[in-house]
Protein backbone atom coordinates (compact mmCIF):
# COMPACT_ATOMS: atom_id res chain seq x y z
CA UNK A 1 0.00 0.00 0.00
CA UNK A 2 1.34 3.46 -0.92
CA UNK A 3 1.99 6.30 1.49
CA UNK A 4 -1.14 8.28 2.35
CA UNK A 5 -1.09 11.83 1.04
CA UNK A 6 -2.11 14.30 3.75
CA UNK A 7 -3.60 17.53 2.34
CA UNK A 8 -2.11 20.82 3.44
CA UNK A 9 -4.28 23.69 4.65
CA UNK A 10 -4.87 26.88 2.73
CA UNK A 11 -2.71 28.72 5.24
CA UNK A 12 0.12 26.22 4.84
CA UNK A 13 -0.09 26.30 1.06
CA UNK A 14 0.15 30.07 1.00
CA UNK A 15 3.13 30.02 3.33
CA UNK A 16 5.08 27.62 1.13
CA UNK A 17 7.57 29.08 -1.30
CA UNK A 18 7.22 28.20 -4.98
CA UNK A 19 10.21 25.88 -4.66
CA UNK A 20 8.74 24.13 -1.61
CA UNK A 21 5.45 23.57 -3.43
CA UNK A 22 7.29 22.25 -6.48
CA UNK A 23 9.21 19.77 -4.34
CA UNK A 24 6.01 18.61 -2.64
CA UNK A 25 4.26 18.23 -6.01
CA UNK A 26 7.26 16.20 -7.22
CA UNK A 27 7.12 13.93 -4.16
CA UNK A 28 3.41 13.26 -4.68
CA UNK A 29 3.83 12.62 -8.40
CA UNK A 30 6.51 10.05 -7.59
CA UNK A 31 4.08 8.27 -5.27
CA UNK A 32 1.19 8.50 -7.71
CA UNK A 33 3.13 7.41 -10.81
CA UNK A 34 6.12 5.39 -9.59
CA UNK A 35 6.63 3.56 -12.88
CA UNK A 36 6.10 6.49 -15.25
CA UNK A 37 8.41 6.36 -18.24
CA UNK A 38 8.58 7.55 -21.82
CA UNK A 39 5.57 6.11 -23.63
CA UNK A 40 7.09 6.22 -27.11
CA UNK A 41 8.29 2.90 -28.50
CA UNK A 42 11.83 2.86 -29.90
CA UNK A 43 14.97 0.72 -30.03
CA UNK A 44 17.72 3.24 -30.83
CA UNK A 45 18.45 6.94 -30.29
CA UNK A 46 17.55 7.78 -33.90
CA UNK A 47 14.23 5.97 -33.56
CA UNK A 48 13.50 7.95 -30.38
CA UNK A 49 14.40 11.16 -32.20
CA UNK A 50 12.06 10.32 -35.08
CA UNK A 51 9.23 9.25 -32.76
CA UNK A 52 9.55 12.46 -30.76
CA UNK A 53 9.42 14.59 -33.92
CA UNK A 54 6.28 12.70 -34.95
CA UNK A 55 4.70 13.26 -31.52
CA UNK A 56 4.36 17.01 -32.09
CA UNK A 57 0.63 17.82 -32.01
CA UNK A 58 -0.07 14.09 -32.00
CA UNK A 59 -0.64 11.49 -29.30
CA UNK A 60 2.08 9.02 -28.36
CA UNK A 61 -0.49 6.28 -28.90
CA UNK A 62 -0.91 7.30 -32.54
CA UNK A 63 2.86 7.57 -33.03
CA UNK A 64 3.32 4.05 -31.64
CA UNK A 65 0.86 2.76 -34.24
CA UNK A 66 2.85 4.38 -37.03
CA UNK A 67 6.44 3.60 -36.08
CA UNK A 68 6.44 -0.23 -36.42
CA UNK A 69 5.89 0.01 -40.19
CA UNK A 70 8.14 3.08 -40.46
CA UNK A 71 11.06 1.51 -38.59
CA UNK A 72 10.47 -1.84 -40.25
CA UNK A 73 11.17 -0.18 -43.59
CA UNK A 74 13.64 2.49 -42.46
CA UNK A 75 15.26 1.40 -39.18
CA UNK A 76 18.24 3.78 -39.03
CA UNK A 77 19.54 7.19 -40.01
CA UNK A 78 21.17 5.90 -43.18
CA UNK A 79 17.97 4.40 -44.57
CA UNK A 80 15.84 7.38 -43.55
CA UNK A 81 18.33 9.77 -45.16
CA UNK A 82 17.86 8.17 -48.60
CA UNK A 83 14.19 7.15 -48.28
CA UNK A 84 11.73 8.13 -50.97
CA UNK A 85 10.10 11.23 -49.49
CA UNK A 86 6.65 10.40 -50.85
CA UNK A 87 6.81 6.96 -49.23
CA UNK A 88 8.03 8.51 -45.99
CA UNK A 89 5.14 10.96 -46.04
CA UNK A 90 2.70 8.11 -46.60
CA UNK A 91 4.05 6.18 -43.62
CA UNK A 92 3.71 9.12 -41.20
CA UNK A 93 0.57 10.68 -42.69
CA UNK A 94 -1.75 9.85 -39.78
CA UNK A 95 0.41 11.78 -37.28
CA UNK A 96 -0.62 15.09 -38.83
CA UNK A 97 1.53 17.74 -40.53
CA UNK A 98 3.06 14.76 -42.27
CA UNK A 99 4.82 16.61 -45.09
CA UNK A 100 6.74 18.85 -42.75
CA UNK A 101 7.50 16.01 -40.36
CA UNK A 102 8.76 13.73 -43.15
CA UNK A 103 10.91 16.54 -44.56
CA UNK A 104 12.45 17.30 -41.15
CA UNK A 105 13.04 13.63 -40.33
CA UNK A 106 14.89 13.09 -43.58
CA UNK A 107 16.90 16.30 -43.30
CA UNK A 108 17.84 15.52 -39.69
CA UNK A 109 18.94 12.00 -40.61
CA UNK A 110 21.02 13.31 -43.51
CA UNK A 111 22.79 15.66 -41.12
CA UNK A 112 23.29 12.84 -38.60
CA UNK A 113 24.91 10.74 -41.34
CA UNK A 114 27.07 13.47 -42.86
CA UNK A 115 28.04 15.53 -39.82
CA UNK A 116 27.80 13.13 -36.87
CA UNK A 117 29.05 9.87 -38.33
CA UNK A 118 25.54 8.34 -38.28
CA UNK A 119 25.28 8.75 -34.51
CA UNK A 120 22.63 10.94 -32.88
CA UNK A 121 24.61 13.58 -30.95
CA UNK A 122 24.44 13.61 -27.16
CA UNK A 123 24.92 17.35 -26.68
CA UNK A 124 22.14 19.92 -26.62
CA UNK A 125 23.81 22.43 -28.92
CA UNK A 126 24.43 19.75 -31.57
CA UNK A 127 20.91 18.33 -31.36
CA UNK A 128 19.45 21.80 -31.84
CA UNK A 129 21.21 22.03 -35.20
CA UNK A 130 19.08 19.18 -36.53
CA UNK A 131 16.03 20.18 -38.62
CA UNK A 132 12.80 19.81 -36.69
CA UNK A 133 14.54 19.62 -33.31
CA UNK A 134 13.83 22.17 -30.59
CA UNK A 135 14.55 21.90 -26.87
CA UNK A 136 11.55 19.66 -26.16
CA UNK A 137 12.74 16.98 -28.58
CA UNK A 138 16.37 17.40 -27.57
CA UNK A 139 15.53 17.00 -23.87
CA UNK A 140 13.60 13.78 -24.55
CA UNK A 141 16.43 12.29 -26.62
CA UNK A 142 19.15 13.26 -24.16
CA UNK A 143 17.26 11.94 -21.14
CA UNK A 144 15.96 8.66 -22.53
CA UNK A 145 18.62 7.73 -25.06
CA UNK A 146 21.65 8.91 -23.09
CA UNK A 147 20.56 9.40 -19.48
CA UNK A 148 21.44 13.10 -19.57
CA UNK A 149 19.11 15.56 -17.80
CA UNK A 150 19.97 18.70 -19.73
CA UNK A 151 16.64 20.43 -19.20
CA UNK A 152 12.94 20.00 -18.53
CA UNK A 153 10.67 18.89 -21.36
CA UNK A 154 7.76 21.31 -21.69
CA UNK A 155 4.84 20.01 -23.74
CA UNK A 156 1.20 21.13 -23.63
CA UNK A 157 0.43 19.06 -20.51
CA UNK A 158 3.47 20.37 -18.61
CA UNK A 159 2.71 23.95 -19.67
CA UNK A 160 -0.93 23.69 -18.57
CA UNK A 161 -0.27 22.05 -15.22
CA UNK A 162 2.61 24.33 -14.28
CA UNK A 163 0.47 27.37 -15.04
CA UNK A 164 -2.40 25.97 -12.93
CA UNK A 165 -0.03 25.13 -10.10
CA UNK A 166 1.42 28.67 -10.31
CA UNK A 167 4.94 27.33 -10.72
CA UNK A 168 5.57 29.77 -13.56
CA UNK A 169 4.21 33.09 -14.72
CA UNK A 170 5.37 32.55 -18.28
CA UNK A 171 3.67 31.07 -21.34
CA UNK A 172 6.75 30.58 -23.51
CA UNK A 173 8.03 26.98 -23.15
CA UNK A 174 11.67 28.07 -22.94
CA UNK A 175 10.92 30.48 -20.09
CA UNK A 176 8.80 27.85 -18.35
CA UNK A 177 11.67 25.39 -18.66
CA UNK A 178 14.08 27.88 -17.08
CA UNK A 179 11.69 28.40 -14.17
CA UNK A 180 11.33 24.66 -13.58
CA UNK A 181 15.07 24.04 -13.77
CA UNK A 182 15.42 26.47 -10.88
CA UNK A 183 12.74 24.75 -8.80
CA UNK A 184 13.54 21.06 -9.24
CA UNK A 185 16.54 18.80 -8.57
CA UNK A 186 18.33 18.05 -11.84
CA UNK A 187 18.02 14.23 -11.55
CA UNK A 188 14.22 14.67 -11.58
CA UNK A 189 13.96 17.08 -14.51
CA UNK A 190 12.81 14.59 -17.14
CA UNK A 191 10.66 12.32 -15.01
CA UNK A 192 8.93 15.40 -13.59
CA UNK A 193 7.67 16.05 -17.10
CA UNK A 194 6.63 12.45 -17.71
CA UNK A 195 4.71 12.28 -14.43
CA UNK A 196 2.99 15.60 -15.11
CA UNK A 197 1.99 14.28 -18.54
CA UNK A 198 0.49 11.18 -16.90
CA UNK A 199 -1.39 13.41 -14.46
CA UNK A 200 -2.54 15.73 -17.22
CA UNK A 201 -3.97 12.83 -19.19
CA UNK A 202 -5.66 11.19 -16.21
CA UNK A 203 -6.82 14.09 -14.01
CA UNK A 204 -5.80 17.63 -14.94
CA UNK A 205 -7.35 17.68 -18.38
CA UNK A 206 -7.43 20.80 -20.50
CA UNK A 207 -11.18 21.37 -20.61
CA UNK A 208 -12.46 19.47 -17.61
CA UNK A 209 -9.90 18.96 -14.83
CA UNK A 210 -11.14 16.47 -12.24
CA UNK A 211 -10.14 18.57 -9.22
CA UNK A 212 -12.28 16.54 -6.80
CA UNK A 213 -10.10 13.50 -7.53
CA UNK A 214 -6.79 15.35 -7.74
CA UNK A 215 -4.21 14.60 -5.06
CA UNK A 216 -2.43 17.84 -5.91
CA UNK A 217 -5.54 20.00 -5.44
CA UNK A 218 -4.57 21.32 -2.02
CA UNK A 219 -1.32 22.60 -3.52
CA UNK A 220 -2.99 24.08 -6.58
CA UNK A 221 -4.30 27.67 -6.56
CA UNK A 222 -6.43 26.85 -9.62
CA UNK A 223 -8.25 23.89 -8.06
CA UNK A 224 -12.01 24.34 -8.04
CA UNK A 225 -12.72 22.26 -4.95
CA UNK A 226 -12.56 23.24 -1.29
CA UNK A 227 -9.29 22.46 0.47
CA UNK A 228 -8.63 21.91 4.16
CA UNK A 229 -9.02 25.24 5.95
CA UNK A 230 -6.21 26.12 8.34
Own/partner contacts of 218-222, CB < 8 Å, gap of 24 or more, are: 218/7, 218/8, 218/9, 218/13, 219/8, 219/13, 219/16, 219/21, 219/24, 219/25, 219/28, 219/165, 220/164, 220/165, 220/166, 221/13, 221/164, 221/165, 221/166, 222/163, 222/164, 222/165, 222/166
Catalytic residue among 60, 103, 129, 155: 155
Taking the C-alpha atoms of residue 188 and residue 7, their distance in angstroms, rounded to an integer, is: 23
60 is catalytic: no
How large is the greatest C-alpha to C-alpha distance in the chain, in angstroms?
65
Question: Could you tell me if 114 and 121 are in contact, meaning their C-beta atoms sit under 8 angstroms apart?
Answer: no
Question: Could you tell me if 176 and 168 are in contact, meaning their C-beta atoms sit under 8 angstroms apart?
Answer: yes
129 is catalytic: no
Taking the C-alpha atoms of residue 44 and residue 203, their distance in angstroms, rounded to an integer, is: 32
Catalytic residue among 136, 179, 188, 218: 136
Burial degree of 207 (CB within 10 A; 0-12, 13-18, 19+): exposed
- Residues assigned a catalytic role: 136, 155
Amino acid sequence: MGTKIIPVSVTTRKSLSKKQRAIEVLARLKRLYPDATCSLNYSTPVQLLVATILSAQCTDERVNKVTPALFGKFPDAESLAIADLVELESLVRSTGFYRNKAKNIQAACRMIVTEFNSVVPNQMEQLLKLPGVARKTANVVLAHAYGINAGVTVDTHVKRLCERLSLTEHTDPVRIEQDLMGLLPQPDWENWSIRLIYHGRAICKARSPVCVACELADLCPAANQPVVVG
